[in-house]
């Protein structure tokens, strides 16, 4: 077994050492090279066309799927149970929002903190007073 491996390795090394810069294309006739080139270019054209068609098919399929989904959604919205569920969802969202706001107000009140909108209103008033104060200071300096 060891001799078989060493023989194979020796043959591979001998082939590598005798290898020249020649290739099969050097021995092929020109008409064969031209034929192969034409076939290769045709295959590339077909590949490009196939790629273009598959992208077009994907886009069109995506559009059809989205259109069908929108249609199914429209049809579902017409179902009375779905209408009622949407109304309940909206009502629940309003209730939750009111409860959260009430809870936040209660927390701010218990901590004796001002809400953000109150702080902004106070900042605007302070800015107005600062402008008035500057104009008064300018008048007194003059």
pLDDT digits (tens, 9 = 90+) for 75-126: 988 899 988 998 999 999 999 999 998 998 888 888 888 888 888 999 999 9
Report the pLDDT value the prediction gives residue 62, as an integer from 0 to 100: 96
Query: What's the predicted TM-score (pTM) here?
Result: 0.38
- Quick check: 77 and 83 in contact, CB under 8 A? yes
SS3 percent helix, strand, coil of the chain, rounded to 5, is 90, 0, 10
DSSP state, 112?
Answer: T
**What distance in Å separates the CA atoms of residue 51 and residue 58, rounded to the nearest whole number?**
11
Report the pLDDT value the prediction gives residue 25, as an integer from 0 to 100: 65
Provide the 3-class DSSP secondary structure of residue 8. helix
């Amino acid at each position: 077994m060891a001799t078989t491996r060493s023989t194979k390795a020796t043959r591979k090394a001998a082939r590598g050492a005798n290898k020249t810069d020649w290739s099969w294309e050097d021995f092929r006739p020109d008409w064969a090279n031209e034929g192969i080139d034409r076939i290769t270019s045709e295959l590339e054209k077909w590949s490009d066309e196939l790629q273009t068609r598959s992208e077009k098919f994907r886009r069109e399929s995506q559009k059809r799927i989205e259109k069908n989904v929108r249609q199914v959604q429209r049809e579902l919205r017409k179902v009375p149970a779905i209408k009622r569920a949407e109304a309940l969802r909206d009502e629940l969202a309003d209730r939750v929002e009111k409860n959260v706001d009430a809870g936040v107000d209660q927390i701010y009140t218990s901590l004796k903190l001002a809400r953000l909108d109150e702080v902004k209103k106070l900042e605007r008033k302070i800015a107005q007073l600062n402008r008035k104060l500057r104009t008064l200071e300018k008048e007194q300096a003059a």
